[in-house]
Amino acid sequence: MIAADGWMYTGSVRQLAALVVSLPAGRGSVTERKKTMVTLADARRVIAAAEKKAAEIGQPMNIAVADGGGNIVAHVRMDGAWIGSIDISQKKAYTSRAFDIATKDLATHSQSGGQFFGIHASNDGKIMIFAGGIPLKKDGKVVGAIGVSGGSGDQDHAVAEAGAAAF
């Protein structure tokens, strides 16, 4: 059996029921949880601001927003954006959240001879070490990230900054 906390449990159903009853009641109110997470409404607002910036510079982009666990909350592929950049935008969001750093800054430290050289090969290849990923913060705490791909590094970063500013 799988227990409420996700761990495998091998006891009786009665023992499992007693375990579940003993768990704390919830994780706070919905309002409290929203203070520490990226909601779909947040993700849509971030994407809309990023799309606006991408349109201003004339570069179609893929824009992904991840939650605190690095999981995608929302993604948009603008008309004309490269299909190959879908994966890259999502991985930039993941990378930025996984290490709580802009991918542009991580790239600086992951070059040959740098303290994080080779980091791109970690996490089953999900790490992107070029510009376009920025953490999203609430009350100074990282709760998600935006990842953008489809233009130059500078363009990707500028569009990600516009999205992050809307958060």
Q: Is the pLDDT reported for residue 26 higher than 70?
A: no
Segment 46-75 shows an average pLDDT of 98
Tokens representing 109 are: 């430290």
Tell me the whole-structure pTM to 2 decimals.
0.80
pLDDT single digits (tens) 82-141: 999 999 999 999 999 999 999 999 999 999 998 999 999 999 999 999 999 999 999 999
Among 156, 162, 87, which Cα is nearest to 127's? 87
Percent of the chain residues past pLDDT 70, beyond the cut: 79
* CA–CA distance, 65 with 52 (Å, rounded to integer): 15
Tokens representing 120 are: 């791109």
| Domain ranges within the chain, ordered by starting residue | 1-28, 35-165
- Best CATH choice for the domain 35-165 from the list 3.30.450.150, 3.30.1490.20, 1.20.1330.10, 3.90.228.20: 3.30.450.150
Q: Could you give phi then psi for residue 150, rounded to 5 degrees?
A: 150, -15
Q: Where are the beta strands (DSSP E) in 7-101?
A: 62-66, 72-77
- The residue among 20 and 48 whose pLDDT is bigger is 48
Long-range contacts of 57-61 (CB under 8 A, 24+ apart): 57/151, 57/155, 57/158, 57/159, 59/150, 59/151, 59/155, 59/159, 60/150, 61/85, 61/89, 61/148, 61/149, 61/150, 61/151, 61/155, 61/156, 61/159
Amino acid 144 reads G
Coil, strand, or helix at residue 123? helix
pLDDT at 82: 97
59 within 8 A of 36, measured Cβ to Cβ: no
